[in-house]
């Protein structure tokens, strides 16, 4: 029994532990894909049923904020990737700064999203609270906005978890065992990139229909 070993007893080595942890994150991402997958499937069912309404509703979304947020999130993912590289070169200060930067960009994303929600509230686009949409396409448009709010809110919850993770790592770098924190950060980065990829899909589904014509 490896008492006092730097890794839990079910592992044979530090490397064994680290690979196992990363594999766990991949399995978790698989489950997350299906979570968002169910939502995206429902979206497509209704978009197929009400193509005109979805285009009309999509034109009411704020593509400026949407695009800005996409750029912000991609940049933040880039910073996290750099932070992982920096940490493996033992550049703790750089890595911490990059993580803080990424977390701030994440918060910026959430803030902009908040402004977007506020605009939508003023324009009476929130189903169940104050939805009003003129014309025969109202039902389909309401469905669009139901999915818009569920998908973006679910995404925002994931963002908040991710921001919390990045903040924790920024605080702990240098204070915890090197290999352990590197693996943990690597897994957290995978998660952050996943949240980013989800947003890219949501961006296309939310902001782009009906914009080209």
What residues make contact with other proteins under the rule CB under 8 A?
Answer: 1, 8-12, 16, 19-20, 23-24, 27-28, 30-32, 34-39, 41-42, 45-46, 49-50, 127-129, 131, 139-140, 142-143, 146, 150, 154
CB-neighbour burial class of residue 141 (10 A; exposed 0-12, middle 13-18, buried 19+): buried
* CA separation for the pair 57, 80 (Å, rounded): 34
Q: Which residue's CB is nearer to other proteins, number 19 or number 177?
A: 19
* Least CB distance to other proteins at residue 20 (A): 4
* Least CB distance to other proteins at residue 146 (A): 5
Give the DSSP letter of residue 42: H
Q: Which residue's CB is nearer to other proteins, number 30 or number 89?
A: 30
* CA separation for the pair 92, 85 (Å, rounded): 10
Question: Nearest-CA neighbor of 168 among 185, 186, 187, 192?
Answer: 185
Q: Residue 92: enclosing H or E segment and its boundaries?
A: helix 92-122
* Least CB distance to other proteins at residue 17 (A): 9
Q: Which residue's CB is nearer to other proteins, number 131 or number 201?
A: 131
* Least CB distance to other proteins at residue 34 (A): 4
Q: Report in angstroms the alpha-carbon separations of 57 from 39, 80, 109, 147.
A: 18, 34, 22, 11
* Least CB distance to other proteins at residue 135 (A): 14
* Least CB distance to other proteins at residue 168 (A): 16
* CA separation for the pair 95, 87 (Å, rounded): 6
Q: Which residue's CB is nearer to other proteins, number 95 or number 147?
A: 147
Q: Which residue's CB is nearer to other proteins, number 109 or number 145?
A: 145
Give the residue carrying structure tokens 């998660």: 191
* CA separation for the pair 202, 145 (Å, rounded): 13
Q: Which residue's CB is nearer to other proteins, number 101 or number 162?
A: 162
């Amino acid at each position: 029994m490896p008492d006092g070993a730097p890794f839990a007893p079910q592992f044979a080595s530090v490397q064994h532990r680290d690979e196992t942890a990363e594999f766990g994150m991949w399995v978790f991402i698989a489950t997350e894909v299906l979570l968002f997958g169910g939502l995206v499937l429902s979206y497509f069912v209704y978009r197929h049923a009400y193509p005109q309404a979805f285009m009309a509703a999509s034109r009411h979304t704020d593509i400026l904020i949407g695009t800005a947020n996409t750029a912000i999130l991609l940049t933040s993912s880039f910073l996290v990737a750099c932070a992982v590289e920096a940490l493996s070169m033992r550049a703790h200060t750089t890595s911490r700064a990059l993580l803080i930067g990424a977390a701030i960009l994440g918060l910026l994303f959430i803030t902009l999203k908040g402004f977007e929600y506020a605009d939508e509230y003023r324009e009476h686009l929130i189903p169940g609270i104050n939805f009003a949409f003129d014309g025969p396409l109202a039902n389909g448009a309401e469905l669009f906005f139901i999915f818009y709010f569920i998908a973006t809110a679910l995404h925002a919850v994931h963002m908040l978890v991710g921001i919390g993770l990045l903040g924790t790592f920024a605080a702990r770098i240098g204070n915890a065992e090197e290999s352990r924190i590197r693996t943990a950060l690597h897994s957290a980065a995978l998660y952050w990139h996943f949240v980013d990829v989800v947003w890219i899909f949501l961006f296309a589904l939310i902001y782009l229909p009906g914009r080209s014509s």
